[in-house]
Structure 1
Amino acid sequence: MNLIVAATLAGAAQAGPFICRETPIVQATERLAALAPRVVAGGKLDILAIGSSSTEGVGASTRDRSYPARLQNLLATAWPRVQVNIANAGIGGEIAPQTLARLKQALSERRYDLVIWQVGTNDAVNGGDLAAFKAMVADGIAMVRQAGPSLALLDPQFFPGIREPARYRTYVDAIGEVAKGQSVPVFTRYDTMREWHEADAQAFTAALAADSFHMSDAGYDCLARDMAAGLLSLTAAGRPVMAQSK
């Protein structure tokens, strides 16, 4: 990573007292090796970002402040030879079975180089059959692999108002467990946001929207910066992969 790119990714996103801090966000057992030569060679890189409201960008002031839009801009800077296109397929309120059905449809209609599947937040909020949830995550991983794109998961957000923290955390852990077993990298948003909160709970409120649940412009920007750094790590030969234990 050259110095200009490093400065771009590490730059502070600020809203009130909240300042974006560089946080390791990737749980990975292997790299996104198939993307590395594409990044070196240049050309188009088509990414599908699919999930619920935090992919759609609920809480952001405009759609171009959502994490997929910010991530596209950051990757375009990091990979100047690559035309990065991120399709935002987020729909607020969805649970895993609904997103899984849309993911299947999306993969049948168009070829993507990378899928970022944001999964589990509404499932964790609503509760349900955890074994069935894990099976759906495994089915989605198999589906994407059969279709051909690389895959990374984005796990649920942390927010202070979680009503049943222990149960909510079981969904986060379930995603990490299934992904680890299938050697799929996970952007560990829950642990990252929890660290932001533990570092400064008062300042953390600016990372969330007015509903204290969805992310704000500053929160999405910090997430996108951490995800961009993670993708650079996962696609760059010879660089260490950042990791967080689950």
Structure 2
Amino acid sequence: MLAGFRIRLACAFAMLAPLGLQVQQANATEFVCRPSTLTRDAADLASSWSRGSTPLRILAIGSSSTEGIGASGKDKTYPARLGALLREGLSGRSIEMVNAGIGGETAPQTLSRLKAALSEGRYDLVIWQVGTNDAVTGGDLGTFRQLVADGIAAAKQARTRLVILDPQFYPGIKETARYRAYVDAIAEVARAQAVPVLSRYQAMLSWYQRDADGFMAALAGDRFHMSDAGYGCLAQDIARSLLGDRPAATLTASAR
């Protein structure tokens, strides 16, 4: 059954070409999106989702990376692109993707909205993007760890499947040790509660280490938020992680 998902999801990547990504040979000014997996702990979702026929409701909640700051339009955000890929990978199953991103939020603000959303409606999956603004602005790391634990507890109480999307990597990180401490804290708290973490930080760091010049096309003009190319690649990697697929598509986008 998963073999069918692989075929359908691989075909779905062709949908991204009209959204600003082109399959072509890379050069020094291009970002090449190569297949990767952000977690290996969420692939069981594919088999459970394939059995149902009712619409899947997915809540993407977080700050600017979820809202899509840096994207050229709402259809270029990672939740929008992810929704399209999942629909294709699940044979056109109806998916309601709710984008609840608000730029500039820190963990306490998003946690409050997450709890409210879980009490007001049912979701088959929540993708909680958290940690970037907390790491940038500082604060107490112990308090942050507790906030992450509280969010996990809220999802479990609501009997909602949760995955956490950790902070982005960007070359301008000023206090690397502190920033990385927040990334590590998310991983540690989530691991203790058996919650998958979509390791965006590590994925983007590997993009940068592989091709520092091309990496800049994955970022918006502020060199902090992601661009259309970055959000598109992120959506592909999340889709692979959720469906357990390893398509062999290679996508590139010119730097801007």
- TM-score (normalizing by structure 1): 0.89
What secondary structure does 2:94 align onto?
Answer: strand
Q: Secondary structure at the match of 2:242?
A: helix
Which residue type is aligned with residue 66 of structure 1? T
> Quick check: 1:111 aligned with 2:122?
yes
Please show how residues 116-195 of structure 1 align to structure 2 within 5 Å.
116-195=127-206
Select 1:18's aligned residue among 15, 31, 51. Answer: 31
- Relative distance call for 1:196 and 1:121 in structure 2 (3 A) is same
1:41, CA displacement in angstroms?
Answer: 2.6
**Matching residue of 2:254:** none
Moved more, 135-144 or 38-47: 38-47
- Matched residue type, 1:24: T
Q: Contact 1:41/1:81 (CA < 8 Å) preserved in 2? A: no
Q: Distance in 2 between matches of 1:217 and 1:95?
A: 23
Matches within 5 A, 1:226-245: 226-233=237-244
Flag structure 1 segments of 5+ consecutive residues without an equivalent. Answer: 240-246
Cα distance, 1:5 vs. partner?
2.3
In structure 2, the residue matched to 1:61 is 72
The alignment partner of 2:60 has SS state of strand
Which runs of structure 2 are paired with 1:31-70 in the superposition (5 Å)? 31=42, 33=44, 36-70=47-81
Contact kept, 8 Å, 2:76 with 2:232, in 1: the verdict is yes
Which of 6, 9, 12 is the matching residue for 1:5? 9
- The sequence identity of aligned pairs, in percent, is 57
Residues 37 and 238, structure 2, Cα contact 8 Å, conserved in 1: no
Shift of 1:85: 1.1
**Root-mean-square deviation (Å):** 2.1
SS of 1:212 mapped into structure 2: coil
Task: Check whether the contact 2:44–2:242 (CA below 8 A) recurs between aligned residues.
Answer: no
Aligned pair partner of 1:216 in 222, 227, 234: 227
| Cα distance change of structure 1 residues 157 and 218 upon mapping to structure 2, 3 Å threshold | same
CA distance in 2, matches of 1:50, 1:123: 15
| Conservation of the 8 A alpha-carbon contact between 2:66 and 2:77 | yes
Letter in 2 for 1:85: E
Decide whether aligned partners of structure 1 residues 132 and 20 sit closer, same or farther in structure 2, where only a CA change above 3 A counts: same
Q: Distance in 1 between matches of 2:43 and 2:10?
A: 20
Letter in 2 for 1:172: V
Aligned residues: 233
1:40, distance to aligned residue in structure 2 (A): 2.1
Alignment partner, residue 243 of structure 1: none
TM-score normalised to structure 2 length: 0.85
1:149 shift after superposition:
1.0
SS in structure 2 of the partner of residue 82 of structure 1: coil
Q: Secondary structure at the match of 2:167?
A: coil
Unaligned runs of 5+ in 2: 247-256
